[in-house]
Amino acid sequence: MYAGVHTPSMTDRTAAVSRETAETDIDVTLDVDGDGDSTVETGVGFFDHMLASFAKHGLFDLTVRCDGDLDIDDHHTVEDVAIALGTAFDEALGEKRGIERFADRRVPLDEAVAGVVVDVSGRPLYDFDGEFSEPYVGEFTSAMARHFFRSLAMNAGLTLHCEVDGENAHHEIEALFKGVARALDDATRIDERRSGTPSTKGEL
């Protein structure tokens, strides 16, 4: 069940999304043109840290509140937050008028390096190349990082290619979150030369 708020304009690219299932109860607010401020409460410490880093490096103002079935594991919490956040991006960007659309970034964190290529295409696709060096970072299941970005891409309408290489799962995952944030910041930036949607089809 979704309850979204979206005011599409060049100056107010914001959204509020609520998602409630038998497994999670989530509220997300997003300002694409923010300052990187965040308030995050998911019950998974490392995941909170990653979402705060995502907001900081993407210059997105973000609030996330999630009450999930952590007595089982972190799967539903991570996946459903990604679904809600992806939906918020899709709503906030609206018709995507004037955006850069394409971006790529390579981001290091010590020995780890993440590469990200994104197209805000409206055609969801996710491709990932890499392995995580440890199965867990705190209470966060490392494989859920890959699942997070897949769910984000599917719900935000992104073509998203990610790769990572390193020797420490914390560094590998954090480099991915920072890389995706920086690439999304670039791709969603307004190009003042463009008055319409950046597609020969006329829409994304």
pLDDT in tens, the chain (204 residues): 444 433 344 569 999 999 999 999 999 999 999 999 999 999 999 999 999 999 999 999 999 999 999 999 999 999 999 999 999 999 999 999 999 999 999 999 999 999 999 999 999 999 999 999 999 999 999 999 999 999 999 999 999 999 999 999 999 999 999 999 999 999 999 988 877 766 666 666
Q: Hey, which CATH number is domain 2-188, 3.30.1370.60, 3.90.220.20, 3.40.50.10490, 3.30.230.40?
A: 3.30.230.40
Q: CB within 8 A of 51, min separation 6: which ones?
A: 38, 40, 42, 62, 64, 81, 177
pLDDT confidence of residue 8: 40
Please report where in the chains the tokens 């539903």 appear, as a residue. 76
pLDDT tens digits, 20-51? 999 999 999 999 999 999 999 999 999 999 99
Q: Of 179, 162, 138, nearest to 42 (Cα)?
A: 138
Question: What does the block give as tokens for 186?
Answer: 């670039």
Say how far apart CA 194 and CA 192 lie, in whole Å: 5
Q: Specify burial of residue 69 (Cβ count, 10 A radius: 0-12, 13-18, 19+).
A: middle
The residue behind tokens 């979206």 is: 6
Distance CA 185, CA 62 (A): 13
What is the reported pLDDT for 203? 67
R_g of the chain computed on alpha carbons: 16
Task: State residue 11's pLDDT score.
Answer: 65
Structure tokens at 9: 């304009």
Q: Output helix, strand, coil percentages for the chain, rounded to the nearest 5.
A: 35, 30, 35
pLDDT for the residue 191: 86
Parse the chain into domains and list their residue ranges.
2-188
DSSP state letters, 96-114: -TTB--EEEEEEEETTEEE
Given this model, what pLDDT does residue 198 score? Answer: 62
For residues 41 and 14, give the distance between their C-alpha atoms in angstroms, rounded to a whole number: 20
One-letter amino acid for residue 16 of the chain: A
Read off the DSSP letter of residue 72. Answer: T
Give the pLDDT of residue 192.
85
